[in-house]
Amino acid sequence: MKKIVIGSRESSLAVAQSMTVVDAIRKALPDAQVSLLTMKTTGDRILDRTLDQIGGKGLFVKELDVALREGRADLTVHSLKDLPMDLPSDLPIVAMSRREDPRDVLVLPADRTELDPALPIGSSSLRRALQLKQLYPGWEIRPVRGNLQTRLNKLDSGQYAALVLAAAGLKRLGLAHRISRYFSVEEMIPAAGQGILAVQGRSGTVWDCLKEYYDPESAAAAVCERAFVRELNGGCSSPVCAYAVVSVDQIALRGLYYDGDSGMYRIGELKGSVSDAEELGRELARSLSKGRL
């Protein structure tokens, strides 16, 4: 019997996301024995500092990468938005899921129906904080770390007026009822890859059993968005972000460029062919950085 081990972070959300891959493989290979290997990453352990202070998103994948390289895991599953823009060549992405709702949302405490002006809005994302300042001018934005349940507990215990979270994670955990407001992608541009799950494997391996799981539209959008952010050297310490929509053979990209020295930012859009998705991302990044849009 073929044995396949899927590596995952140990949070409830990470496990729920990884189980979508487990289910897809079990459907394609009913005779295979598919199991989860869960672990706490460095990024999960260090909760008293923001990501830019402790080394970035790579801390959420470090231990999982080691498990892949050592053969303890055959595949690993990540929220694509949490993966560094530059991935090691020996651990390529072998599949991307259909995109869940890419929007950011506002979540209020369980016992409230409106924002408490005496409390801050919780978000550790510089991308969200920058755009929140336009939506809620003058409101204090305070960092909040931890897995989804930990952050919700902090919210419900009265530490925050609201949290800004990804709709995708809440929906995957059956918590859509906690959402008080959806921000349109025009109000708040999502992180590159938000709502998409990425499956990593070792180079040289072929995973035909993930053909049905792989979504070409999500993959094209992700390539475009990540090319935009990569061109601008954006990372966890930058609010640079992008969101692409694929329609048949065309792709439309909306991106945010940020100048860290001046605090100035520009938003622009560009359309082109899906076949040119990566170059489109780079082109929009260059145009915004030079003030041509």
- HEC sequence for the chain: CCEEEEEEECCHHHHHHHHHHHHHHHHHCCCCEEEEEEECCHHHHCCCCCHHHHCCHHHHCHHHHHHHHCCCCCEEEEEHHHCCCCCCCCCCEEEECCCCCCCEEEECCCCCCCCCCCCCEECCCHHHHHHHHHHCCCCCEECCCCCHHHHHHHHHHHHCCEEEEEHHHHHHCCCHHHEEEECCCCCCCCCCCCCCEEEECCCCCCCHHHCCCCCHHHHHHHHHHHHHHHHCCCCCCCCCEEEEEEECCEEEEEEEEECCCCCCEEEEEEEEEHHHHHHHHHHHHHHHHCCCC
Query: Annotated catalytic residue: which of 82, 101, 104, 215?
Result: 82
Domains of the chain, with CATH numbers?
1-97+196-214 (3.40.190.10), 104-182 (3.40.190.10), 215-293 (3.30.160.40)
pLDDT of residue 260: 86
Q: Residue range 271-286: average pLDDT?
A: 98
**Segment 98-118, tens digit of pLDDT:** 999 999 999 999 999 999 999
Confidence check: pLDDT of 1 > 70: no
Per the annotation, the verdict on 82 as an active-site residue is yes
Q: Tell me the whole-structure pTM to 2 decimals.
A: 0.91
